[in-house]
Amino acid sequence: MTCRIGIISVRGPAYHPTRRLMAAAAQQGHIVDVLNPYRLWPAFLNSSAFFCREDENPLPDAVLPRQGADVGPSCLALVRQFSQTGIPVINDFDAIRISRHQFYTLQALAAADIPFPDSVFINAFSGLPRAVDELGGYPVVIKQVSNRQGSGVFRIDSAETARTMLAGHLGRPAGKRPGLLVQRYLPPEDRQDIRVLVIGNRVAGAQALTPAPGDFRANFHLSGRSRLFDAPASIQELSIRAARAVGLDIAGVDLMMQKGCDPLVVEVNYAPGFKGLEAATGRNIAGEIIDCVVERITAGKQEKYPCG
């Protein structure tokens, strides 16, 4: 069966994840359309959902949103419209809405009793001193509630540094502040950083990430440094639980592990990159993602997590 798969992205076919997914789909005999949320417009006529579009391509059999942390109202409206027309969306509106916001994600993890770093959400300078006190003092990690590939994550060592670095975020008018996440700082020399890719009901692979020299952030796009990690059953189970807590079919789950401590889930991504994981594992991760999408088409839109 040939399936038509829509990938929602503002980037063109040359972007690495999109290019790999298109190649994997073509190898299996499927068709991929890149759906730009600024070139495809959800609409209603007589209360019936449809789409205004620039091309004449038929609607996809399933949709894979891949806009990442840049996802905004236009993409979310499009994602929800596809669901309302009965087209399976992997991952869906509710899961993306939670995972795109760091604190919403922590709330979902807490509800599922999944451990994560101590955190405080602030939206004013006056909240920072209390947050730092609750977290045991400086240094702390500051995160934008939506960040991409390690950007928007800072180490803050003092109140003076905080005021200088955060003025652009917390100095805006109150109604225009997205807020910031303040977290306990875990030194890179005392921890191991892991990225686990969950596809459906299983772990597709894991990689250990190493920060670049002088940096505390472990992210493949920042350092280019990763290696294969043989995730034990406990880490695999925790990663799948984290993806489920947020509602994701496909998820990149970031964890930190310290000696003698339980692993902590740091982030759950709805559109994880997989270039580093393919390099570390030698596996065709793009093909496995396409397999999951095709299985979802076959299973029908009501059945989540059919893969694996």
CB 91 within 8 A of CB 248: yes
Coil, strand or helix: which one is 176?
A: helix
pLDDT at 7: 97
| Number of domains comprising the chain | 3
Residues in CB range of 48: below 8 A, 6 or more apart: none
Q: Which of 184, 205, 231 is the last residue of a domain?
A: 184
Quote the domain boundaries for residue 292.
188-299
Query: How does pLDDT run along the chain (308 residues), one tens digit per residue?
Result: 899 999 999 988 999 999 999 999 999 999 999 999 999 999 999 999 999 988 888 999 999 999 877 788 889 999 999 999 999 999 999 999 999 999 999 999 999 999 999 999 998 888 999 999 999 999 999 998 886 655 688 889 998 888 887 777 776 666 667 889 999 998 888 788 999 999 999 999 999 987 766 565 555 444 446 689 999 999 999 999 999 999 999 999 999 998 888 999 999 999 999 998 888 888 999 999 999 999 999 886 555 655 66
Q: Is 270 found in the same domain as 255?
A: yes
**Is 43 inside a domain boundary?**
yes
CATH number of the domain within which 74 lies: 3.40.50.20
Q: What share of the chain is helix, strand, coil (3-state, %, to 5)?
A: 35, 25, 40
Question: Contacts by 68-73 with C-beta closer than 8 Å and gap 24+?
Answer: 68/148, 68/269, 68/271, 69/100, 69/146, 69/147, 69/148, 69/149, 70/10, 70/148, 71/96, 71/100, 71/271
Task: Name the amino acid, one letter, at 206.
Answer: A
Q: What is the pLDDT of residue 224?
A: 47
Q: Are residues 87 and 123 in the same domain?
A: no
- Are 88 and 18 contained in the same domain? yes
CATH number of the domain that residue 123 is part of? 3.30.1490.20
Q: Does residue 111 lie in a domain region?
A: no
Task: Decide if 110 is inside a domain.
Answer: no
The two tokens of residue 295 are 């299985």
* 81 and 12 together in one domain: yes
Domain match, 179 and 232 both = no
250: CATH: 3.30.470.20
Classify 78 as helix, strand or coil: helix
Whole-angstrom CA distances from 307 to 63, 75, 90, 194 are 16, 25, 11, 23
Backbone φ, ψ for residue 102 (5° rounding): -55, -40
Domain shared by 9 and 58, yes or no: yes
